[in-house]
Chains A and B, each alone.
Chain A
Amino acid sequence: MLRFIVRRLLQLIPTLFGLSILLFVWLHRLPGGPEAAILGDRGTAQQRAEIRTTLGLDEPIWVQYGRFMKRLASLDLGTSIQSGRPVTEEFFTRFPATVELALTAMVIATVVGIPLGYLAARRRGGLLDFGAVTSSLVGICVPVFFLAYLFKVIFAVNLGLLPSSGRQTPGIDATHPTGFYVLDGLLTGEFDASWDAFAHLILPGLALSSIPLAIIVRMTRASVLEVLGEDYVRTAEAKGLQENTVRVRHVLRNAMLPVVTAIGLLTGGLLSGAVLTESVFAFGGIGSFIRTAIDFRDYPVLMGFIMLIATTYVLINLLVDISYSVLDPRVRVR
C-alpha cells in the first residue's frame, strides 16, 4: 500500500513538470502584458519597456522559466505583480475560502444525494424515484450563476434571511488563526463569528451543490440498481440474512464505488475555483482572484495558483484510488 502511494506520488512529478512548461509557454504567449494593466493607455513605449525589464519579462522565455524553476526548488513561487505580496501568501489567504465553500457544497450534495439516490433505486418506478430522476435531470441543466443569483435575490435581498455577500459580516472582530472562518470561531471560542461565517456559506454552498447533487443522485441510483440485480445480493437474500445487513454490507458498500470516484472528481473540480458562484456572492476565493490575475497578466500568480490547484486535484484523485482499496478488497493496488 505504502509503495503504491509513493509510486503514485513519484508519477505526479513528470505530469506537473510537463504542465508547468505547457502553462508557462501558454501564459507568456497571451497577448499584452502586465505593463499594459499597470500603465493603462497612457504609458509611453519607454515606460513599458522599463516595467518589462524590472519584471524580467524582456529575457528569453526559457531563461524566465529557468528562474521560475530555480525559485520553485526553494518552494518560492515569486511575488504577485498586482499586489506585491508573495504568491504563496495570496494563495493561502484565499484557498481556505474556496475549500470551505467546496466542502459545504459537497457535504450538502453527499448527505442529500446518496440517501435520495438509494431510496429512488429501492422504490424504482415510484413517485419518489420519478421526482428524484426528474429533478436531477433538470438540476444539471440550470446555469449555476443564475441559480446563485436567484438565491441571492430571493433569500438575501428580498427576504433578508441570510447574508448576500462576503465571508463574514464586516465589523465582526474575529481572529483567524487558520483562515477557515467557521473553524477559527470554534477554535477561539468566538462562536458568534463562527455562526456568522457559516451563515455566509449557506447560499453559495446551496447554489454550488446543485450540479454535484444531481450527479450523485443519479449515480447512486444507477449503481444501486445494478448491484440489486447481482447474484451475490440474491444469494445473500436467499440465505436469509437480515435485510439491513444485505442493504448495508452488500448493496450500499458495493454500490458506493463509482459514487466515491464521482465525489472525488467533483470535489477536485469545485476546488479549482467556483469562479461563477464566488463572483455572484463576492466570496473572495481563488476563483475570482485568478480571473483578475488573467486580466492583469499577473504571471507569477497564475503559474503558482494553477500549479497548486493541479497538485490538489491530482492528490484528490490519489485519495479516491486509495479509498477504492478500502471499499473494495478486489481492487488490489499493484
Chain B
Amino acid sequence: MTTKTDKIDRLAELTAARAEPEHGLGLWREAFRRLKRNPMAVSGAVIVLLFLVIAILAPWLAPYDPEARTWDHEVFQNQNIFVGPRAENWLGLDNAGRDELSRIIVGARQSLLVGVVATGLGFAVGALLGGLAGAAVGLGGRVGQRVDAVIMRVVDMLLAMPSLLLAVSVAAILGPSLLTVMVAVGVTQVPIFARLLRGSMLAQSHSDYVLAANALGVKRRRIVLGHIVPNSLGPVLVQGTLSLATAIIEAAALSYLGLGNPDTSYPEWGSMLADAQRFLSGAPQLAIYPAIVIIITALGFTLLGEAMRESLDPKLRK
C-alpha cells in the first residue's frame, strides 16, 4: 500500500514542480544568485581564493627561503634519514634539507601560473577557432559551410592526436621550460574549447529568439555577434574552470615525465611530486604533501566549475 501512495505523491510532486516563480533577472545574475546559495560553489570558491592569496603573498607567507639548504647536515637521502614535521619546520625537510612548507607555499605560484596561462591559451585559440566555425555556419551560405568544415576537420585531427603526445612533441621543439609546459598543456585544450563553442553556437542558432530576430530582419552579423555568441559562452566558461584543474594535473604529469621546468630554483608542485617518488619508501610525506595540494586545488576549480554548470543549466535545477 505504502509504495502506491509514495508513487502517487511523487507523481504529484513531479507535476507540481513545474511552475517556478523567477522574476525577470538576466541569465547571468540569476546564475550568480543561485551560485551563492550552492555549498559546492562556495567551498570551491573558498579553496580557489585561498590558494590565489597564498600564491600572491607567497614570499611573505613562507617562513624560510624555499631554496636555502639550511638543514642539509640533518638529511641523508642515501641512508634513508629524513626529517619529519617538527616545531621549526612544520612539514619537515625535503631531501636536500630545505623547508618543505616554504616550498609548498612558494610552489603555489608556479603551479597556478601554469594552470592559468595554459588554460587561457587553450581558451583563446580554441574559442577563436570554434567561434569562427560557429559564426561561419551562422552567417550561412556555401562559403560559411566550407570554412566551418575546414576548421572542424583540423580540430578533429588535433583531437585524434593523443594529448600527452602532443604535449611531449611541443616540449621536444621548445626544450624543457616553464613556457613549454604552458604551451604544451594549452595546445591539448584547444580542440575541446573549439568544439564546445561551435556546438553551443549551433544549438543557439536553432533557438526561437534567433528565429524571431531573423524574422524581424535583424542583420545576420548582428544576430551572430549580439545574440548567439554571448548566449553560447556559458558552457565554455564552465569548461574553462574545469580545465584549470586538468591543466594543473597535466602540468604535474609533464614534470613527472621530465619535461617540466629544469630551473629548480623555483619549486613547483609537479616536479616536487615527481622528485619525491624516489624516496617514497623512506619519506612518503614528501610525495604526499604536493599531491594533496594539487588535489585540493584541482578540487576547488572542479567544484566551482560543476556548480557553475548546474546554475547555468536550467534542466539540472532542483
- Choose from B161, B257, B273, B298 the contact partner of A140 (Cβ within 8 Å): B298
- B295 contacts chain A at the CB level, 8 A cutoff: yes
Can you name 9 extra interface pairs (CB under 8 A) apart from A14-B153, A140-B298?
Answer: A18-B157, A30-B169, A30-B173, A32-B172, A141-B294, A146-B273, A238-B11, A269-B162, A276-B257
Interface residues of B (CB under 8 A from A): 7, 10-11, 14-15, 153-154, 156-157, 160-165, 168-169, 172-173, 245, 249, 252-253, 256-257, 273, 277, 280-281, 284, 287, 291, 294-296, 298-299, 302-303, 306, 315-316
Q: For B315, list chain A residues within 8 Å (CB).
A: 226
Q: Which residues of chain A are near B154, meaning CB under 8 Å? A: 18, 22
A-B contact pairs, 20 of them (CB 8 A): A19-B160, A22-B157, A29-B173, A31-B172, A138-B295, A140-B302, A141-B299, A143-B273, A143-B291, A144-B253, A146-B291, A157-B281, A225-B316, A226-B315, A226-B316, A273-B164, A275-B165, A276-B253, A276-B256, A306-B161
A290 CA / B173 CA spacing, docked (Å): 16
Asked if A99 is an interface residue, CB under 8 A from chain B, the answer is no
User: Residues of A within 8 Å of B, CB-based: how many?
Assistant: 48
The answer to whether A142 has its CB under 8 Å from any CB of chain B is: yes
Give the distance in Å from the alpha carbon of A137 to the alpha carbon of B310 in the complex: 14
B281 touches A153 (CB 8 A): yes
Residues in B neighbouring A295, C-beta threshold 8 A: 172
| A15 close to B153 (CB less than 8 A) | yes
The verdict on A275 contacting B245 (CB below 8 Å), with A237-B11, A294-B169 known, is no
- A107 interface residue, CB < 8 Å from B? no
Residues of A within 8 A of B (CB): 14-15, 18-19, 22-23, 26-27, 29-32, 137-138, 140-146, 149, 153, 157-158, 222, 225-226, 229, 234, 237-238, 269, 272-273, 275-276, 279, 287, 290-291, 294-295, 306, 309-310, 313-314
Residue of A nearest to B309 (CB): A222
Q: Would you call B302 and A272 a contact (CB within 8 A)?
A: no
Shortest C-beta distance, A132 to chain B (Å), equals: 14
Residues of A contacting B164 in the complex (Cβ-Cβ under 8 angstroms) = 273, 275-276, 287
Is the CB–CB distance between B14 and A234 below 8 Å?
yes
- Contact present for A141 and B291 (CB under 8 Å): no
Would A294 and B245 count as touching, CB distance under 8 A? Answer: no
Chain A nearest CB from B134 CB (Å) reads: 20
Pairwise interchain contact B294-A137, C-beta atoms closer than 8 A: no
Q: Are A291 and B302 in contact (CB under 8 A)?
A: no
List B contacts of A149 (CB < 8 A).
277, 280, 287
A147 CA to B186 CA in the complex, in Å?
A: 24
